[in-house]
Amino acid sequence: MALNALGGLGLAKPITTMITTMMQKKPAVLYHYPCPDGAFAALAAHLFFSAACLLVMFFPNTIYNPIASNKLPLAEISDIYLLDFVDPSGFVQEISSNVSRVVVSDHHRTAVEGLCGESSCSVGENVEKVIDIQRSGATIAFYYFEERAGSGLTDLNVGSMRV
């Protein structure tokens, strides 16, 4: 009934589109917090998703009290981006079986050991690993999202963001 009334105002289609968009699965960004490296990695993700006009969920993740997979709304998440951390052993395997894709962007040795060693065979095929111990987590994330943005994140009216 409410949508019928709004239809007379020409608002039914925009509201229906908005509701449909809100119900679709969204990407999620879990980032190392309160680490400046993780926060700036999350900023790179925010700039990318904002430029693409995509809704995204952000979850700050502390090392001393990490988010458990059962605390995430996995049914509402399409892709998960783990920025500047991998989390406890088995976390990537748990979430990768519940979402379309997991992107791990990290520079810590624990990521190399946990995802690039012998135990990495148990990581799902939908896990993309962007690991480089020679760069900061923020730099890795910035260039990852800049590459996907096409013209680059430096064109987003925020000045030059070269790291």
Q: What is the pLDDT of residues 82-133, one digit of tens each?
A: 999 877 778 888 899 999 999 988 876 776 666 655 554 556 789 998 888 8
DSSP count for the chain of H helices, then E strands:
6, 5
Confidence (pLDDT) at 125:
86
Domains of the chain: residue spans and CATH: 25-155 (3.90.1640.30)
Confidence (pLDDT) at 8:
56
Contact predicate 154/161, CB 8 Å? yes
Residues 31-86: tens digit of each pLDDT:
999 999 999 999 999 999 999 999 999 999 998 899 999 999 999 999 999 999 87
pTM, whole model, 2 decimals?
0.76
Confidence (pLDDT) at 157:
43
